[in-house]
Each structure stands twice: as C-alpha cells, then as structure tokens.
C-alpha cells in the first residue's frame, strides 16, 4: 500500500501551479491534479506511477519526488514541444536526460548545445536558436519526430539516429555497432519505459 498522507498538500500545490500558468481542465492543457486524482482512485497507484504523476507526468528532481521551479518549467517546455510535434513527452524527457541531464548550458566536446544537445548546423536547419532553452527543446523534439517518421515510428532506430545520424542507422539497418550509440539507446529506452 502506498502512503498517501501528503497527497492533499501535493494536490493543493499542483492547483496553485496550474492557476499560475493558466492550466485549466477545459483549456486543452494537461490538468495534472485531475490526472492524479484519477490515478489515485481505489489505491490502484504504484510507487512508480505516483512518482511519475507527482512530477508533472515526466520526471522528478534528484529522485526525491519533488521539483524545483526550473525543473517544472523544463517539464512544461518538454510537454508543450511534445504535444506540438506529436511525440510522447516521456521519450523527449528521456532523450533530454541522456543528452544533457536537462542542462540548458551543456556544451559537448563536439559542439552540441543545450538540453537536447543540438549541433549548430542542425539547429540552423531546424530554425531554432540552440542557446534558447525553449527553442532548443522544440528543435530537439522536432528532430526526434523527424527520426521517428524516417523509421516508421521505430523508437529504437529513431533514438539511435538521434545519436549516430540517420545514415548510420540505415547502413546497419538498426542500431549501429558503436559502443557509444548502443549505450545511449539503452539508457534512453530504460528511462522511457
């Protein structure tokens, strides 16, 4: 049985956040309080689903079940971009966590930038500023959607292409035999599940 003793406080906090950002049940945006109430009826929630819902449906901060203000805003950006491009927000979140640990200031040795680790040329082709967090997430989500479309919705191939490039996945008809890409795909899919 899950300890639900603090659930009313959490639901009040969610309502405050929803009100602050104008999220209403009839407005088309996700109403997390309503989702939480639905999931909690009959004590059918699992520890994993409770943590998932308490984190706004995407993730928690440092495994504590709590979010910082910037974490909540990041989740909102991810959810918005995912909805815009028709990608599961959990997949976008898994890619963001694997790419940068959600760090908007991350820069790789290869020059990839931001939360979704966009290369400057890729960002330019997508029409986004990779140094702007919201645009970076939008661009990465759009790119991920392109990879999903290129590979007929095959998440494994799309994630591999996000890391290694479309041509490498086509050349090997699947995840390329590169240790980095194989580890990357496994980590994203583990987070996504």
- Residue 32 exposed, middle or buried by CB count within 10 Å (0-12, 13-18, 19+): buried
Residue identified by tokens 């908007």 is 104
What is the rounded CA–CA span in Å between residue 79 and residue 93?
Answer: 9
Q: Answer yes or no: 48 catalytic.
A: no
What is the rounded CA–CA span in Å between residue 54 and residue 63?
Answer: 11
Active-site residue identified among 39, 99, 138, 180: 99
What is the rounded CA–CA span in Å between residue 171 and residue 69?
Answer: 43
**Radius of gyration of the chain, Cα coordinates, nearest whole angstrom:** 18
Contact between 128 and 118 (Cβ < 8 Å): yes
Which residues belong to the active site?
Answer: 99
């Amino acid at each position: 049985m899950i300890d639900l003793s603090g659930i009313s406080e959490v639901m009040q906090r969610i309502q405050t956040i929803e009100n602050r950002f104008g999220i209403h049940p009839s407005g088309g945006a996700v109403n997390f309080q309503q989702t939480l109430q639905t999931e909690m009826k009959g004590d059918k929630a699992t520890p994993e689903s409770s943590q998932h819902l308490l984190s706004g449906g995407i993730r928690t901060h440092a495994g504590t079940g709590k979010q910082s203000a910037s974490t909540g805003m990041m989740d909102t950006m991810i959810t918005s971009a995912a909805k815009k491009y028709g990608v599961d927000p959990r997949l976008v979140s898994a890619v963001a966590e694997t790419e940068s640990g959600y760090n908007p200031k991350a820069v790789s040795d290869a020059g990839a930038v931001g939360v979704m680790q966009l290369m400057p040329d890729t960002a330019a082709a997508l029409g986004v500023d990779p140094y702007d967090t919201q645009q970076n997430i939008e661009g990465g989500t759009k790119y991920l959607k392109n990879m999903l479309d290129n590979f007929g919705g095959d998440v494994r191939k799309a994630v591999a292409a996000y890391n290694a490039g479309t041509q490498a996945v086509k050349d090997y008809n699947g995840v390329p035999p590169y240790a980095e890409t194989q580890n990357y795909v496994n980590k994203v899919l583990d987070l996504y599940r």
